[in-house]
Amino acid sequence: MTRMPRIKIAPSLLSGDFAMLAHECQRMISYGADYLHMDVMDGHFVPNLTLGAPIIKSLRPHTKGFLDCHLMVTNPEKWVEDFAKAGADQFGFHVEATSDPETLIEKIRNHKMRASITLKPDTPVEAVLPFCDKVDQVLVMTVEPGFGGQKFMPNMMEKVRTIRAQHPNLDIQVDGGIDTTNIEVASKAGANVFVAGSSIFNSISPEATIAELRRLAESQTN
């Protein structure tokens, strides 16, 4: 019987203290995080501007954590080499941002990073299905990309179910509004990698929240 990939919790550093980013990364890993989710925004593809490859490069010596870089940028092809040199472990791009996903995936792999393909809420799941057997992960956005603190869109779970039915061994990540009230819904649909920002960083005990998110997600897996 095929088993779904293991549950992974990925705190979004967008909700952390940027003045203490290395410390925040160390803190999340010590609390049991599997990934460190780095939101890269260019102010063009999305209406916000955040960190880039130089910050990833600065962070790399301070953490052995898995740097999961989600690029919300126009022309992601031009940044592959920079992020590889900076020490990114996973390079995620939006299917909407490139005219040639297959060539981009190959370029990411050639630079020794895991490849992740992302789709926005308004993008049909069919846009990524041809590439699911070529990537390491698919990220289904459960909010509009660009800002933290938005509410989870449960109707995105149909995309997750569709991808999981066709690709039982693939990492499927969800990002946007994930907290203890909805992670079970997402896990039951077939997601196994969960990005959570506000719900972790704004909690009284981020460590307990990470543990509870994991427990709830695992409760829905067979």
Annotation-wise, does 12 bind a ligand?
yes
Instruction: Find out whether 65 and 33 touch, Cβ atoms under 8 Å.
Output: yes
Cα 174 → chain centroid: 7
Beta strand 114-119 pairing with 90-94:
parallel
Annotation-wise, does 65 bind a ligand?
no
Annotation-wise, does 62 bind a ligand?
no
Annotation-wise, does 177 bind a ligand?
yes
Q: Is 39 a catalytic residue?
A: yes
CB atoms within 10 A of CB 121: 15
For residues 146-170, b (16+ Cβ closer than 10 Å) or e, as one string?
bebebebbeebbebbebbbeebeeb
Annotation-wise, does 94 bind a ligand?
no
Token pair for 98? 């490139």
Q: Is 175 a catalytic residue?
A: yes
Active-site annotation holder among 34, 39, 68, 171: 39
Annotation-wise, does 219 bind a ligand?
no
Instruction: Find out whether 194 and 174 touch, Cβ atoms under 8 Å.
Output: yes
Active-site annotation holder among 34, 42, 175, 179: 175
Annotation-wise, does 197 bind a ligand?
yes
Annotation-wise, does 52 bind a ligand?
no
Annotation-wise, does 99 bind a ligand?
no
**Angstrom distance (rounded) from CA 43 to CA 64:** 29
Catalytic residue annotation: 39, 175
Annotated binding site: 12, 37, 39, 70, 146-149, 175, 177, 197-198
Annotated binding site for substrate: 12, 70, 146-149, 177, 197-198
Annotated binding site for a divalent metal cation: 37, 39, 70, 175
